[in-house]
Structure 1
């Protein structure tokens, strides 16, 4: 039970980490890597922005490694929470919203439509200033009502 609570807590906490990283790192110090994500699309399959998948994967890999040393410990479940959040982020952001993979083109789900609307508002700003809606899985309720 404690393992599941650690996993769930880390998964939920990752939304806070994502929001802060997106607002203060991606739209700040590391804008160079994130900028192409806010520009009209070009023919490349990858963006510089994809480096953030690697950045977030490294702690998970390290936690998995140390989390299985001598039997599974809490570090494994922290890594699992980060990894599952990353998977959900990928499915929502890259598959559903940006359609980098044409798996789910249409949805009538109010939650998913709200996520799309909030992200569209985020992308109306092509520069790093004046951004809004930095979260991914939890967005303000007003986007579900629009």
Structure 2
């Protein structure tokens, strides 16, 4: 029986046979002449894993503050600053015009959506109004969770070939990633159109959902494109503590320190807290404050 157990359990014996003394490290170089070089090779699997990770450049605002790093003459720096200013002005005009147009059309649509139902002494559609308001708020909040999921599962996966334009220095006022804003506008416009031209509770709910998506898109544009990436000036909202935390959290997403977290925008600080990134968030907030003060001093 003892022999059988030894034969059936060869692991300790194999361990003893394979265990060899570690090679001693080379002694410290004490004599004259160059110090010998030691070459350390990484395992092939680790090397392959590192190569599989896509290279992502620093975000736009980091590049603007840090400069080109190449030394460059004054004329090149001035030309680059003028080009950036022109790009921001172009995007600002597009953002303001689209926002004013969408806001005015949405306000007019809300008014006429219920006013024409009350023509001729009709009753006030209270149920539809409440449903429209509730779905507006619900859709705006729900879009944050949809954007978080789509950002992680789609934009950083199968749609990375489009989204990577947002993680690289931008050449011009627009980037390929802006297409996603148009994609999100299609269902919003469809819901608004169906809800506007039809009566009843369901059309009222659809109308509210379209309004909520539209409101989220406008808020996302001003906070993400304006505040975080400085594609246009946003004024005093930069000094609001909550928006400052949101901007810093999204900056950490571009640093890729927590495997891309946070993927959401308005709840980004909460995502970082869940993965232990609160300390890093506070550091980034202080860094942004110092950078803002430095820019104000220059201007």
- TM-score category (smaller protein): 0.7 to 0.9
Scaled by the length of structure 1, the TM-score of the pair is: 0.88
Q: Which residue of 1 aligns with 2:259?
A: 130
Query: 1:140/1:102 Cα in 2 relative to 1: closer, same or farther (>3 Å)?
Result: closer
1:85: which partner in 2? 216
SS in 1 for 2:239: coil
User: Which is higher, the Rg of structure 1 or of structure 2?
Assistant: 2
Q: Which residue of 2 aligns with 1:26?
A: 155
- Within 5 A, what are the aligned runs for 1:8-87? 8-42=137-171, 44-71=172-199, 73-87=204-218
Q: Which structure 2 residue ranges, 5 or more long, are not aligned?
A: 1-129, 283-299
Bigger share in helix: 2
**SS at the partner of 1:120?**
helix
Superposition deviation, residue 107 in structure 1: 2.7
For residues 232 and 239 of structure 2, the distance between their equivalents in structure 1, rounded to whole angstroms, comes to 19
The unaligned stretches of length 5 or more in structure 1 are: none
Aligned residues: 142
Report how far residue 103 of structure 1 moved. 3.1
> Could you report, residue by residue, the CA deviation over 1:98-142 in whole angstroms, capped at 9, with x for unpaired residues?
1111233773321011111111100113xxx93110001112344
Higher relative contact order (CA 8 A, sep 6+): 1
Separation (CA, whole Å) in 2 of partners of 1:56 and 1:70: 22
Q: CA–CA distance in 1 between the matches of 2:223 and 2:253?
A: 15
